[in-house]
Chains A and B, each alone.
Chain A
Amino acid sequence: MIALVAVLFWAGVHNLRHRRALSQVPHITLIPASAAADNSGPPDAEGSNLRGKDAPAFTLTDVSGKKVSLADFKGHPVVVNFWATWCGPCKLEMPWFQEFSAKYKGQGLEVLGLSQDDGASRQDVADAAKKLGVSYTILMPDEAVAKKYGGVDYLPETFYVDRSGKVVEVTAGAPSKDQMEALIQKTIAAGGA
């Protein structure tokens, strides 16, 4: 009985310490200068825990209803960008992804825009993407996928995945265009040629 109590107590203390330690780890790899100047700290995004790990697999449908899997892009550097039609900063950075997807196409770059517009129709999402001049793959939402990526409760949130399928960097909030390009270059350079 005493041993059982002792083990339970030790496990509880260990669990509590672990949770406290995790809560003190900064969750954001990159805080945009504009946001850092005005806000008290990083938001509650937990996706940065994926850095250095395999990007969680997913299969979603695009705006035309076609199934698209992350695995389809094996061997390519991939930008997995969570966005929403109601998110102003998302829409401002998406044309940059469009520009870079063309600029680095020769190096295999793929950009996937994962809409977080729960309840929106494919047409609504497609129209919004078209209005932004985006022609890269736009995928419809699935809460289970967002959960795999840490909940994605702060948009935009972007995961830079190298050719080997590992998450190189995670950003929450819109970076500057230069920061975005630097992250794309880093992703292309990582994971072997």
Chain B
Amino acid sequence: MKRRVFASLVLTLPLIAAAQIQLGGLDRTTEVKKQHVELLTDSLQLTANKPQDVELRFRVEPGFHINSHTPKDELLIPTELKLDAGPLRIADEQYPPGSHFRLQVGSGEDLDVYQGEFRVALRIEAPKGGSTLSGSLRYQACDNAACFPARTLPVKISVTAK
């Protein structure tokens, strides 16, 4: 009996190992596109039932810039936050002004961008208890010489109101 169990293990373990190595290839096929912006705010502590000003902090990957909410050219894709308020009430949403960036290709181009950290200000009111502020940030990132297609960064922030 023990021999059978041992033999089964000997035969099964390499099979599992081989399967794991093979499945490594599947991970790549389901790989999501790399983000160039990260959300720095993961939670908000509020006073219940009272409108308050909060900031959602984001950071653009070093070496990259994204268009501001109001880019200079109508063809450029603006940074835009879309939130599902749920039980929360969002009274106002303010984007920061962009900073000047000179694209150094050929004759160059002046852009209005976010680089490094930027903050979107919200005026928000929450009922007592816990809730989630979810949504997405749509942005389009470039470096000095090239651009990536627009990406959507999921936004999920836990809100506690006391």
Answer yes or no: do A and B interact.
yes
Q: For A81, what are the chain B residues with a Cβ–Cβ distance below 8 Å?
A: none
Contact with A128, one of B17, B25, B75 (Cβ below 8 angstroms): B75
B83 part of interface (Cβ distance < 8 Å): no
The answer to whether B109 touches A88, judged by C-beta atoms less than 8 angstroms apart, is: yes
Which residues of B132-148 have CB atoms within 8 Å of chain A's CB atoms? Answer: 140, 142-148
Q: Bits for B103-133, please: 1 = Cβ < 8 Å to A, else 0.
A: 1111111010000000000000000000000
B2 part of interface (Cβ distance < 8 Å): no
- Which applies to chain A's interface (DSSP): helix, strand, loop or mixed? helix
A181 part of interface (Cβ distance < 8 Å): no
Binds B, one of A37-45, A67-75, A103-111, A160-168: A37-45
Q: For B150, what are the chain A residues with a Cβ–Cβ distance below 8 Å?
A: 86
Total A-B residue pairs with C-beta atoms closer than 8 Å? 116
B32 part of interface (Cβ distance < 8 Å): no
The answer to whether B149 touches A92, judged by C-beta atoms less than 8 angstroms apart, is: no
Contact with B145, one of A5, A6, A15, A32 (Cβ below 8 angstroms): A32
Question: How far is B24's CA from A26's CA once the two chains are assembled, in angstroms?
Answer: 21
Which residues of B1-42 have CB atoms within 8 Å of chain A's CB atoms? Answer: 11, 14-15, 17-22, 24-25, 28, 33-34
Most A C-beta atoms less than 10 A away, residue of B11, B18, B33, B111? B18
Question: How far is B44's CA from A170's CA once the two chains are assembled, in angstroms?
Answer: 47
Contact flag A89-B11 (CB < 8 Å), given A8-B18, A11-B22, A16-B24: no
The answer to whether B145 touches A174, judged by C-beta atoms less than 8 angstroms apart, is: yes
Interface size class on chain A is 35 or more
The answer to whether A8 touches B76, judged by C-beta atoms less than 8 angstroms apart, is: no
The answer to whether B144 touches A92, judged by C-beta atoms less than 8 angstroms apart, is: no
The answer to whether B105 touches A174, judged by C-beta atoms less than 8 angstroms apart, is: yes
Q: For A96, what are the chain B residues with a Cβ–Cβ distance below 8 Å?
A: 106
Which residues of A1-60 have CB atoms within 8 Å of chain B's CB atoms? Answer: 1-2, 5-6, 8-9, 11-13, 15-16, 19, 32, 34-35, 37-40, 43-44
The answer to whether A88 touches B21, judged by C-beta atoms less than 8 angstroms apart, is: no
Pick 10 A–B contacts, CB within 8 A, sort by A: A6-B14, A8-B18, A16-B24, A43-B146, A86-B140, A92-B109, A116-B149, A155-B147, A155-B148, A173-B143
Residues in A lying within 8 Å of B, measured CB to CB? 1-2, 5-6, 8-9, 11-13, 15-16, 19, 32, 34-35, 37-40, 43-44, 84-93, 95-96, 116, 128, 153-157, 172-174, 177
Pick the 7 closest A-B CB pairs, nearest first: A12-B21, A35-B145, A173-B145, A173-B146, A8-B18, A9-B18, A92-B105
Residues in B lying within 8 Å of A, measured CB to CB? 11, 14-15, 17-22, 24-25, 28, 33-34, 63, 75-77, 103-109, 111, 140, 142-150
